[in-house]
Amino acid sequence: MTSRRIPLIEPKAPIAEAQIDTLVRTFYGRVLEDEELGPIFRDAVGSRWDEHLATMVAFWSSVALGTGRYSGKPHLAHRDLGLDMDHFGRWLNLFEKTARDTCPPDAAAFFIDRAHRIAESLQIGLDIGPKALRLPKTGSA
């Protein structure tokens, strides 16, 4: 059987925590200014904004450095937000731009690679768009 692998992109040097902090703060600052994404975050997060930023720094620290500081359930957090493919496209565009603006090229490529993989997984899990997993029908075929 032929295996189909999409090689993981890795940074040349370990990512610094300060790098993650800058990326997360700059990204969510821009998210709040985005006319489509801003209202979604304002409605869902409200006054818990500092907590959200801390959660997102912990999340990316776990992804980039394997620190295990994040132990939440991203699928549950996004389930009731009414998200569609356009939201994901917009989020990813903004994230890519911010990663390129704030990180060296190899670190930006790493963050962008992981963001895309996680966005795919979220869309499959949330049944959004053509990426949604086509599960076998239950019962008699």
Residue 99 engages ligand HEM in binding (rule: CB under 6 A): no
Cα separation, 2 vs 139, whole angstroms: 31
Nearer to ligand HEM, 22 or 41 (CB): 41
Measured distance CA(98)–CA(25) in Å, rounded? 10
Near ligand HEM by CB under 6 A: residue from 77, 105, 106, 127: 77
Asked if residue 9 binds ligand HEM (CB under 6 A), the reply is: no
CA distance 120 to 123: 5
Distance CA 50, CA 113 (A): 26
Amino acid identity for residue 87 in this structure: H
The residue from 38, 81, 105, 127 that contacts ligand HEM (CB under 6 A) is 81
Residues of the shown chain interacting with ligand HEM in the complex, contacts defined by CB under 6 A: 37, 40-41, 44-45, 52, 55, 59, 72, 74, 77-78, 81, 83, 87-88, 91, 115, 118-119, 122
